[in-house]
Amino acid sequence: MTEKAYGILHGVIEEKRIIEIRSRRRVDFYYMSKGMFKNFMMYFTAGMYVFLTVNKTPKIQKGLLVKNIISIDKVISPDKNHPKIYYDISLIKSGVKNVLNDKRNRLFIDFEMSMPPYSNYENFISEIIQVGYVLTDTFGKEISRYSSYVKPSFFPEISLRTIKFLHITQEEINTGVTYKDLYSNLYGIYRNYNPAVYVWGKNDQLELDKANKLHKLRNFTKSMRFIDLLNLHKIYYGLKNDIGLFNAYNLYSDVDLSDQKHDAFEDALVTKEIFINFKEVCDKNIQIDIKNNQ
């Protein structure tokens, strides 16, 4: 069970990651994780007003009776005339909502990359070997979808590690398009639709940028707006660690996809479904208790 706590910051016990909050003529102690303390310690000066979500049941932590902090919701300087907001999760969530409700076309895309061999991998370069995407208009109506293998150019023979991890064969890879074909495909989408590009994590954008440099092609993706849904989830829900694509999907669905194979098109579809549900959460149409689902 959780509860809200608020009051004036009275002191900080830095070596124990404990803050003291003065409220209603008493001082209470609150303990936080290492990552949270690192992120917020710049705000922890005496006199700041803090709003917290904490565990309702106190416990002994490092010699003091404390309540664990689940999230820091707001930090302000309580000046009567000009209060200064240093941090406000409600404003951050509003910003995430605005990003998801941006009125533009959307491209949900995923890549699978080649993996190094088990030995003699010093000069290995990972390459995009599979792509899947779904393109929709601003209302969510599907415009097109695409799935294909992509033939690697610099290391044409995929490694045994890649074959085992992705459950694919060299013969399947050999049926794929060239990277320049994929480039032309994506460039056409950029020119004709200029979509927001939704990905799960940073890796897909980084690999696309790298591929364009390796093939000495104009990197038009620098002009595209990439939106990392994984990062938005971490910001919105206050997560300390990354969450996997299928685990994120499981937050919103009773269908467990944890054992799904790695397939670029399926992952693009899952990314799209996560976007739809996450947008519903941000728009306050549905409610998810993510802490009970981790």
Does residue 71 fall inside a structural domain? yes
Residue 23 has pLDDT above 90, yes or no: no
Checking if the pLDDT of 151 tops 90, the result is yes
For residue 15, what are the contacts with CB-CB under 8 A and spacing of at least 6? none
Q: Which of 45-49, 199-203, 260-264 has the lowest mean pLDDT?
A: 260-264
Mapping DSSP to helix (H, G, I), strand (E, B) and coil, where does residue 88 land?
strand
Q: What is the DSSP string of 162-218?
A: HHHHHT--HHHHHTSBPHHHHHHHHHHHHHHH--EEEESSSHHHHHHHHHHHHTT--
Q: Decide if 96 is inside a domain.
A: no
Residue 262: its pLDDT value, please?
82
pLDDT at 261 over 80: no
Residues 258-263 have a mean pLDDT of 74
Considering the domain architecture, whether residues 154 and 78 belong to the same structural domain is answered as no
Tell me whether strands 196-199 and 106-113 are parallel, antiparallel or unpaired: parallel
Q: For residue 209, give the amino acid letter.
A: D
Element (H, E) at 35: helix 34-40
One domain, residues 109 and 82: no
Same domain, 172 and 56: no
Same domain, 224 and 288: yes
Is the per-residue pLDDT at 109 higher than 60? yes
The answer to the question of residue 199 being in a domain is yes
Q: Output the pLDDT for position 293.
A: 47
Confidence band, pLDDT 50/70/90 cuts, at residue 292: very low
202 with 257, same domain: the answer is yes
Is 238 inside any structural domain?
yes
Q: How far apart are CA 213 and CA 227, in angstroms?
A: 21
How many angstroms separate the CA atoms of 189 and 195, rounded?
8
Indicate if 164 and 214 belong to the same structural domain.
yes
268 against 122, higher pLDDT: 268
Q: In which band, very low, low, confident or very high, does the pLDDT at 75 lie, cut at 50, 70 and 90?
A: very high
Average pLDDT over residues 150-164: 96
Residue 131: closest CA among 196, 190, 185: 185
Q: Look at the pTM and tell me if it is higher than 0.95.
A: no
Within this chain, do residues 193 and 287 fall inside the same structural domain, yes or no? yes
Let me know whether 66 and 205 are in one domain.
no
Tell me which of 90, 109, 141 is where a domain ends.
90
In angstroms, the CA 230 to CA 198 distance is: 10
> Which of 63, 90, 117 delimits the end of a domain?
90
Can you give the CATH number for the domain in which 183 is found?
Answer: 3.30.420.10
Average pLDDT over residues 238-267: 85
Q: Which residues neighbour 67 within 8 Å (Cβ) at sequence distance 6 or greater? A: 5, 28, 29, 30, 31, 54, 55, 56, 57, 58, 59
Specify the pLDDT at position 78. Answer: 81
Q: Which pLDDT score, from 0 to 100, does residue 79 have?
A: 78
Cα gap 244→222, rounded to integer Å: 26
Task: Copy the structure tokens of residue 3.
Answer: 């509860």
More confident residue, 272 or 26: 272
Residues 27 and 49 in one domain: yes
Please classify residue 64 by burial: count the beta carbons closer than 10 Å to its beta carbon, then call 0-12 exposed, 13-18 middle and 19+ buried.
middle
195 & 246 share domain: yes
Residue 86 class from Cβ within 10 Å (0-12 exposed, 13-18 middle, 19+ buried)? middle
Say yes or no: 180 and 286 in one domain.
yes
Helices (H) and strands (E) in the chain, counts: 9, 12
Q: What number is the average pLDDT over the span 99-111?
A: 97
- Number of domains the chain is built from: 2
Domain range enclosing 155: 101-292
- Is residue 83 located within the same domain as residue 35? yes
| Residue 253 maps to a domain | yes
CATH code of 65's domain: 2.40.50.140
